[in-house]
Amino acid sequence: MHIKQSNLFQNILILMALLLVFICSDTPAIAASKMPEFALPSVEDGELVTSKTFKGKIILINFFATWCGPCRMEIPELIELYTKYGKQDFVVVGLSIDMGGRKTVKKFLEKLSVTYPVLMADSKITDAFGGVPGIPFSFLIDRSGNIIKAYPGYIPPGVFQHDMEKLFPPAPVPKP
């Protein structure tokens, strides 16, 4: 009995390790593909915002919904990243898949003091990103508009920042 429990424990650990590798590795089917172009309404005022607005920036696209617990857990880190790196041509773009409309999402964003742009997503944009099988689901885009990493599900604090920092030029080394 003890041996079977040990094997079961080892199998669970192996599965967890494989899942972690999958989540934290680049998705080959998506990596280096271009970010799809879009024109979506802003939650703030309903005006259309196009993907061209973010040209030349490092972008973290985050598909979410107001009713999604893991999505709500990620939002404070997304706000922090946007605040910290926004002046370095970085932007978080929230894409809400909520069916309740702009007013519901706007009220939710105000409650959480979300400062980054949030747009209302539709099935065309989720399809354009290769299908979004669940939420939260995020994509890191480089300055050239290439999707360099996909993040399925909730991402623990620090992972986005770690991956983003690779895209910024190194800080100059002071001369002695």
- List residues with catalytic annotation: 68, 71
Rounded to 5 degrees, φ, ψ at 33 are: -85, 155
